[in-house]
Amino acid sequence: MRETIINVLEDIELSSPIFIEALPGIGHVGKLAADHIIDELKAVKFAELYSPSFPPQVLVDEDGIVEPMRNEFYYLRDAGEDERDYIILVGNTQGLSPEGQYEICGMILDFVEGYGARRIFTLGGLATGQPVEKARVYGAATSMELVEDLKEHGVIMRSADGGIIGASGLLLGMGRLRGMDGVCLMGETPGYFIDAEAARALLEVLLEMTKLEVDLEKLEERAEETKKMISKAQQMEQEMIERMNLKPGEEDLRYIG
Mean pLDDT (the chain, rounded): 89
5-245 CATH, one of 3.30.310.220, 3.90.470.10, 3.20.20.10, 3.40.50.10900: 3.40.50.10900
Helices 167-177 and 98-113 pack at an angle, to 10 degrees, of: 60
Report strand pairing: 255-256 vs 119-127: antiparallel
Whole-number Å distance between alpha carbons of 110 and 117? 10
Whole-number Å distance between alpha carbons of 154 and 100? 35
Average pLDDT rounded to a whole number, residues 44-64: 93
- Is residue 235 predicted with pLDDT exceeding 50? yes
Instruction: For 202-216, write each residue's pLDDT tens digit.
Output: 999 999 999 999 998
Instruction: For 12-22, write each residue's pLDDT tens digit.
Output: 999 999 999 99
Strand partners, 75: 44, 87
- Helix-strand-coil split of the chain, %, nearest 5: 35, 25, 40
Instruction: For 137-169, write each residue's pLDDT tens digit.
Output: 999 999 999 999 999 999 999 876 678 989 999
Element (H, E) at 87: strand 84-91
> What is the pLDDT at residue 1?
81
Whole-number Å distance between alpha carbons of 24 and 180? 23
- Is residue 175 predicted with pLDDT exceeding 90? yes
Whole-number Å distance between alpha carbons of 133 and 227? 9
pLDDT band at 246 (very low <50, low <70, confident <90, very high): low
- Is residue 94 predicted with pLDDT exceeding 50? yes
255: number of Cβ within 10 Å: 14
Element (H, E) at 179: none
Instruction: For 28-52, write each residue's pLDDT tens digit.
Output: 899 999 999 999 999 999 999 999 9
CA dihedral 141, 142, 146, 150 (to 10 degrees): 0
Average pLDDT rounded to a whole number, residues 85-109: 96
* pTM, 2 dp: 0.86
CA dihedral 196, 198, 201, 204 (to 10 degrees): -50
